Amino acid sequence: MPKKLKLEGLDCASCAYEIEEALKKEGFEFALVNFATKEAVIEGDVEKAKEIIERVEPGVKVIEKGEHDHDHGHEHGEGGPRRALYFIIPSLMLFGIGVVLRYYYNMDNAFVFGIFTASYLLVGWKVLRSAVVNSIHGNLFDENFLIAVATVGAFLIREYPEGVAVMLFYVVGEFFQDMAVDRSRRSIKALLALKAEYANLLQGDGVVQVKPEELKVGDIILIKPGEKVPVDGVVIEGTSTVDTSALTGESVPRTVKEGEEILSGMLNLSGVLKVKVTKELRESTISRILELVENASARKAKTEKFITRFAHYYTPAVVGLAALVAIIPPLVYGDPFSIWLYRALVLLVISCPCALVLSIPLGYFGGIGRAARDGILVKGSNYLDALHGATVVAFDKTGTLTKGVFKVTKIETRNGFSEEEIIRFAALAEANSSHPIARAIKDAYGGDIKENLMEYEEIAGHGVRAEIDGVEVMVGNDRLLHRFNIEHDTCRVKGTVAHVVINGKYAGYIIISDEIKEDAPLAVKELKRLGVKKVVMVTGDNKDVAAEIARQIGLDGFYAELLPEDKVRVIEELEAEKGDGKVVFVGDGINDAPVLARADVGVAMGALGSDAAIETADVVIMDDKPSKLPRGIRIARKTQRIVWQNIIFALGVKFAFISLGVLGEATMWEAVFADVGVALIAVFNAMRILR
């Protein structure tokens, strides 16, 4: 079973990649290091993993999740960078004094050298220490080592003001970069800060505050106004409005009352609720959401994998180029060694790939976090990438495009009977039935069913016959009419139909339809606006019903009367029409699990959907609204745009400065901008997805 390790002090994105590679080389079948959450997920010996991580990155402290689970965001995220100011400010003051003495008073003696050295050590001692420790452990291409070599090299060729300036600029840049990354992490964590801190457990006549983890199925808890719902349950007493925005992204509060389900992560706004626990915390909605989002980074997008591989070769290549620049021109052309050594040092500064390795995972993590805030759970950045390329979308019908709730949509009269008579007698005849069609007829009637039901008979496969205050009423299908030789003219009515016969005379029929979700037509319209080539329905319902639903919603086509294996076959047929894009299937039932797994992207409805569908799906829509799918595609496309902006920007600047460095047109100051400045800009750009 995978185990999670917290990595305190993991401040370098390329270091995360090095740790992950080292774990895999040492025989761990599964190893993932998530820089965005500062976590490692492994399968194997925890103690061995700790040893490897601390060997590769001695500055990282490894803590098992569970032994130290509270949030370190303030202490390490905010306090760490701020503590750096205690060294940066004095160093800046000394650097200023040194610059004035050297360039204004033309002093260049041991005293001035001492001032620059003190300024350098104040701000750079941590970088130098990390460089030494990492080089002892064989990590020669880490950013600390590269900056240390470049700045010490500057001192050796008597460019110590520039050496200090580069170290200062680098550390200040790292300070702002750490602040930006921590802010991004806090923003993402804030989107998922849904867990209740405590629960009010009823014990005897009193109420005891306990941790949500301690609650068992069947426990009775009180949820007061202003409190978060700790676990999933059923309301057994009370009425209140609840804020579901953390789960569904919807700002409109929902009313819950006795007998209704309430989910963990919701916020109680008004009344006191007495709730019976139906799921323990580890199985509740909130835990499932947090686990899905936290583990999303395990499934990396192709772009992310390419960049980490690229960075692995890029840095050694630039370091090799720097070595050639330092050695070959002085030997071939007889130029002064110091000129070409300086250019080589500039290349060393540029060679760190942090802008790429840092901003791209943050971009995807931000996209997943943004989608979660809107009630769309994406299980991995690879699925976010796939969603971006959706060209064919197939919807299941019942529970996906429709509410799965039957409703009377039309009443047709015959032989002088009124609509009121038909619906009243039909409702009275169906008084004892719990069939969904019977419930729809009774709901449409809406009145009290108090008439004297003297006789009742259920005719299997046909309908019911009842006597109400001396009036004989029959309600059923077309076969019922033929069985009793009732004269009628309605054999070919489309849809689900209940025929009504009163005292042996045909009175008319009632059409019952599965109610279409209000936003289903909008979802189809938005998908087409986004460039999706084909939007279809795949259902097990009959062709007439499917045709009517498809017409009302505006679908491009439908496939009806399908078994689960038939749905898989249809998705395989649609694969031929997708072009360079992806096939997305949206469903909710346990019978949809095979087709959800077969599609390029399986999307499950999370509120009413079966556990099998939710587990199999790649994306989960928490409030069952089809219109969330186009919103998810928009988030995926925005994430993709930002990721590629960062790649093009970072590589463009890097290669430009490599060229300028070789030609001697770039200084170390500019090289630091190419490293830290680009990383900072890329991180801020990645954070835009959260807005």
Please give the positions annotated as active site: 396
Rg (CA), the chain: 34
Q: How far apart are CA 646 and CA 299, in angstroms?
A: 20
DSSP state of 422: H
Q: Which residues of 178-210 are buried (b: 16+ CB within 10 A; e: fewer)?
A: bbbbbbbbbbbeebbebbbeebbbeeeeeeeeb
Q: How far is CA 530 from the centre of its chain?
A: 20
Q: How far apart are CA 505 and CA 508, in angstroms?
A: 9
- Within 8 A by CB and 6+ apart from 450, the residues are none
Q: How far apart are CA 126 and CA 128, in angstroms?
A: 5
- Within 8 A by CB and 6+ apart from 126, the residues are none
Are the C-beta atoms of 527 and 631 separated by less than 8 Å?
no
Three-point CA angle 362, 31, 146, nearest 5°: 60
Token pair, residue 463, equals: 């309908």
Are the C-beta atoms of 454 and 523 separated by less than 8 Å?
no
CB-based burial of residue 569 (10 Å sphere; 0-12 exposed, 13-18 middle, 19+ buried)? middle
Q: Is the dihedral angle over the CA atoms 512, 513, 518, 522 positive or is it negative?
A: negative
Question: DSSP letters of 50-85?
Answer: HHHHHHH-TTPEEEETTTS-S--IIIIIIHHHHHHH
Task: Write out 636-663 in H/E/C secondary structure.
Answer: HHHHHHHHHHHHHHHHHHHHHHHHHHHH
List the strands of the sheet with 233-237, edge to edge.
206-210, 199-203, 220-223, 273-277, 233-237, 261-262
CA 520 to each of CA 97, 488, 527: distance values in angstroms, whole numbers, following the listed order: 69, 36, 11
Nearest to 53 by CA among 94, 87, 92, 3: 3
Q: How far apart are CA 290 and CA 493, in angstroms?
A: 49
Q: How far apart are CA 578 and CA 601, in angstroms?
A: 13
Q: How far apart are CA 312 and CA 303, in angstroms?
A: 14
Pairing of strands 206-210, 220-223: unpaired
Question: DSSP letters of 522-550?
Answer: HHHHHHHHTT-SEEEEE-SS-HHHHHHHH
